[in-house]
A and B are shown apart, each in its own frame.
Chain A
Amino acid sequence: MLHYTLRRCGWTLVQLAVLSLVVFLLTDLLPGDAATVDFNEQAGLDQVAQLREQMGLDRPLVERFADWAHGLLTGDLGTSLVGGGPVRDVLSSSVPVTAALAVVTLVLLVPLAVAVGLLTGLRAGSRTDRTVSAVTLTLTSVPDFVLALLLVGVFALRLGWLPSTWVGADDVWWQRPELFVLPVAVLLARTVCVLSRQIRAGTVTALHAGYTVQARRLGVPPARLVLRHVLPNAAVPGVQELARTGDQLLGGVLVVEAVFAVPGTATALVEAVQNRDVPTVQGLTLTLAAVACLLNLAADLVSHRLAPRTEVLR
């Protein structure tokens, strides 16, 4: 297992290196550059040329990438072309926001999804199962932005119970838990549904599996049967799904951040791409990719732990 973990980490580093090169090239291929975008509708071509020179954008592509890569190796993510501040400042202001949203969502997601999945799976075919399944299927089909706007319309604009956006939250957002309610609700709606349906399917399969039937024949109590035999096997596809959900959450969930004006990583990344701010795009992409790789690695290891027969380690 240690060997496998080390091998996966090595591959992750290679993936990140390739990714950084690809992102750099793709960002460079976008029409316009940071100077052109910065002065859009503001100044003439002469001033744009002067700014381009000051930003170092008149240097060859290879030279710029080499500079950035050298900085990275020495722990320096570079300087934002647009704001002029260190890229690590962009990371330190945006990552905690998205991470907080993701953590709160994940903390609520797992028990909710397991509860709903088990409830419907153990009573497959019952009225409860049919009703809950109909609701989860419906929620899965509702686009995030529609749900977000509906929730804002009802709970913020109509009832006035919750803030409609994060506008004005500044850097004290962590002191205002009410800000999290609607974004987390939107993030949970689809993920709970998807995950609980996976667990439901796994539960139904596990309930009819030979080992469960045999355990039941041997007189294992129902609660123990579910906890020791059904749930661990039903959770395997759920864990993989959870890793994918984690990817999405750490990506910032663009729509949620946009609708609620959350100053997270997705907002920062979109803005950096729009500004053609290559160092910031690189810094954010690498961070998000690294976290995604770690999440997937963790999911594989947990899957193996839950059900050693899975073949992820080969």
Chain B
Amino acid sequence: MASYFDELHVEEDEMPTVRLERLTRETFRMLFDHDPARYGDIINFQNTPPASKSEIEKLKAPSFEELIDEQCRICLSQYQLNDKALNMPCNHIFHENCLKTWLEKSNFCPLCKFELKTDNEMYELYKQELKNRQSREDNIAQLHDSMFS
């Protein structure tokens, strides 16, 4: 195992999440080397992919009361009467146009980074793998704690 980590240049003291993310990315890169056709546009995740259109359509408009004296944190202007707004699943509200423009290039809430699903299979696979690795790490940590504390 040591050589595996050496090969990936993982530093001992890297933050667990940073390390996991790097390892996952490296694994994907290796998959790509192994089978470029299948793992075609291995994503360098320079930018996250846009949110899926169907996910955006599911977003609901907030009630009028929720907009009173509030401000859209994308354009920084106060909501006016008749402004169209949308509610993210994390309950953050933005102007409909502001949010849609943002979700055309990114899949997360501009305020809290809550992620909407994307149509990019590679990215979804990558996210799933990241989650799996995280829960494995958590389980190991828990096991370790239960054994030694």
The answer to whether A and B interact is no
Q: Which residues of B contact A (CB under 8 A)?
A: none
